[in-house]
Amino acid sequence: MENNAIGSIEEEQRVRKAKKFNLWLGMIGMFMMFAAFSSGFIVYTASGVDKGLKTILPQTFMYSTAVLILSSLTMHLAFKAAKNSALTKQKLFLLLTIALGIAFLFLQVHAWGLFFAQGITFINNNASQSFLYVFTGMHLLHIVAGLLVLLRCLIGAMRGIPQSNNIFRMDLAAIFWHFLDLLWIYIYVFLLLNQ
């Protein structure tokens, strides 16, 4: 009986290590994808076909960056609360993180509206400007995935899943969310430098 319990604990640890490894592999893949977009943009604009973005990034991007940085803080506080078994605080900070993630999403869609009002569409005579939609659109898809991960954590906390499972879920969610925040900062700085 005792050997079965030890075996199941070891199996659970192996599964958790595999899940965390897969998360890191996925994040490396995402980073490589955005590095490829960056390289494609640089090569395309260097070819002289277009002269770059020919637009000033909207202030909305600065606000959305601040919102995402704040969401990293609330995510950190949610994870810290989970580790301290402060379930009420964990749920509160998770809700705040989700709300900030949704606010980021709406700010990005608003920025697209501003681009559209300037005549900058995905399909236009300046393909460099199309990269604005590629960078921000792909990041938004990952934000939606991150929001689903956070929602799963919140549901788990509300249902009172075992503490070890709760902490593991929160650990993976925090790593992924912080990665998305850093990825956005990279995208924002890259676009600022190339506007």
What pLDDT is stored for residue 130 in this prediction? 83
pLDDT in tens, the chain (195 residues): 555 656 677 888 898 899 999 999 999 999 999 999 999 888 888 777 666 677 788 999 999 999 999 999 999 999 999 999 999 999 999 999 999 999 999 999 999 999 888 888 787 777 778 888 899 999 999 999 999 999 999 999 999 999 999 999 999 999 999 999 999 999 999 998 887
What pLDDT is stored for residue 152 in this prediction? 96
Domains of the chain: 27-193 (1.20.120.80)
What pLDDT is stored for residue 172 in this prediction? 96
Integer-rounded Cα radius of gyration of the chain: 20
The CA distance from 96 to 70, in Å, is 10
What the block records as the tokens of 97 is 């993180």
Q: Is there a contact between 150 and 177 (Cβ–Cβ < 8 Å)? A: yes
Distances in Å between the Cα of 155 and the Cα atoms of 19, 148, 172 are: 19, 10, 15
| Helix (H), strand (E) at residue 79 | helix 59-83
Q: Which amino acid makes up residue 124?
A: N
Full-model pTM: 0.88
What pLDDT is stored for residue 65 in this prediction? 96
DSSP one-letter code for 160: T
What pLDDT is stored for residue 102 in this prediction? 97
Q: Which amino acid makes up residue 81?
A: A
